[in-house]
Amino acid sequence: MRDYFLGGASPAGFETAFWHDHQNAFGFYLKGGPGTGKSTLLKKLAAAFSAESVSVYHCASDPHSLDAVVLEDRGIFAADATAPHEASTPLPGITGCMTDLAEGLHADLLLPHKQEILSLYQENQAAHACAKKGFAGIGAMEDAAAEIGLSALDHPKLLHFARRFAKRLLPADACAPAVMHDRQAAAITPLGRCMLIPDGFDRILLQDPAFAASEYLLQTLADAAANAGVPCEITRSQTRTNRPPVLLLLPSLHLAVITDAADDSGCGNPEPQKPVSVIRMQRFYDPAILRDHRNLLRFCRKTAGTITAQTVKLLMQALRIHDALESYYIRAIDHAFLDAKADAIISAVKNHRFL
């Protein structure tokens, strides 16, 4: 089973490539507000097909909650299709079907708490609006540092190393078609920066004072892997303007290559993993240019870290408010109805009957 994030917050709001990436799959689009059992249903679906190739997509706002499950070999998915990642099937019965879990709510149990629910909803929206500004601030600081890095890059030296690095890592006899997927395996969450790297993967950390060299190396390695027929999954920054790569997964090699911008060591992840090796990217910059901009680089990195910490606090605040809001709906939902819906979807998948 593989783990990803469905997407994540950015300066422009929530962003995800999930619907585009799975436009040719048959989808069960789950509707219903907070606490209506979407994540619970998805977990049951994943468990029912755990012996198969399954990918689960976590919610970046609450990593313990699921937003989607993909049954890879069957070409089928089920996903939370409500805001902020709202979607619908264009051809019901052909490309997918809609399932509204809110039909199982007992409205009479909600109405006495109308004002509390509305108040919590508004508080949650306000917290996420503040977090959105935080993501913009992080991106601005990292963009400024990367701009300095780009001006200081020793391109010939970096290109020579990138080619040797790719040649050393990638098998020479790979001949399969190029396969490169954008997958969100890193995000800023209420737990801090988190990466979803499979157990048993080796890790290479690219330590970079100015981002630009590591981003170039990561993209070069991804392109080389795809051209060599080595499947690769690339995670891009959701805070930066040009969305550069921050994490590369090479599943067939059991390898993850990580940049500073994705590294979760010491930033809130309860079980950060140590990289097996570190590559210091400072050698690929003109030292005189870095020296001239040293104070600005330090300011950008430090400020980005400070804003990240504050944004994480806002995300945690939003999650606590969401949990309080959700509690009213959990008490009002018909759990037998939810169980029946989950069983119906599992049965439909097993019997290839989607109508």
Chain-centre distance for alpha carbon 172: 31
Q: What is the predicted pLDDT for the residue at 266?
A: 45
**Residue 87 pLDDT grade (very low, low, confident, very high; cuts 50, 70, 90):** very high
**Residue 275 pLDDT grade (very low, low, confident, very high; cuts 50, 70, 90):** low
End-to-end Cα distance, the chain: 27
CB contact at 8 A, 33 and 42: no
CB contact at 8 A, 37 and 338: yes
d(CA 263, CA 272): 9
CB contact at 8 A, 30 and 78: yes
d(CA 78, CA 345): 9
Backbone angles phi, psi at 248, to 5 degrees: -125, 125
Q: What is the predicted pLDDT for the residue at 276?
A: 75
β-strand pairing of 277-280 with 202-207: parallel
pLDDT in tens, 308-340: 999 999 999 999 999 999 999 999 999 999 999
d(CA 322, CA 35): 9
Kindly give the residue spans of alpha helices, DSSP state H, lying in 228-293: 287-292
User: Residues near 274 by Cβ (< 8 Å), separated by ≥ 6?
Assistant: 203, 265
d(CA 54, CA 45): 10
Chain-centre distance for alpha carbon 244: 14
Chain-centre distance for alpha carbon 327: 26
d(CA 152, CA 16): 33
pLDDT in tens, 172-199: 766 667 678 999 999 999 999 999 999 9
d(CA 69, CA 349): 13
Note the residue count of the chain.
355
Backbone angles phi, psi at 153, to 5 degrees: -60, 135
- Other residues' Cβ atoms within 10 Å of the Cβ of residue 42: 25
pLDDT in tens, 69-86: 999 999 999 999 998 999
Instruction: Tell me the percentage of the chain whose pLDDT exceeds 70.
Output: 94
CB contact at 8 A, 193 and 186: yes
Angle between helices 114-152 and 294-332 (to 10 degrees): 160
Instruction: Name the token pair of 175.
Output: 């001949």
Q: Which of 211, 120, 110, 203 is nearest to 158 (CA)?
A: 211
What count of Cα atoms within 13 Å lies in the side-chain half-sphere of residue 193? 26
Residue whose entry in the numeric block shows the structure tokens 């190393």 = 161
Residue whose entry in the numeric block shows the structure tokens 């012996």 = 51
Interior/surface letters 208-227, b for 16+ CB within 10 angstroms, e for the rest: bbbbbbbbbbbbbbbbbbbe
Interior/surface letters 103-128, b for 16+ CB within 10 angstroms, e for the rest: ebbeeeebeebeeebeebeebbeebb
Instruction: Name the token pair of 95.
Output: 């490309």
Q: Is 53 left (phi over 0), alpha (psi -120 to 50) or beta?
A: beta
pLDDT in tens, 277-306: 999 999 999 999 999 999 999 999 999 999
In the predicted model, is pLDDT for residue 12 greater than 50? yes
Q: What is the predicted pLDDT for the residue at 13?
A: 80
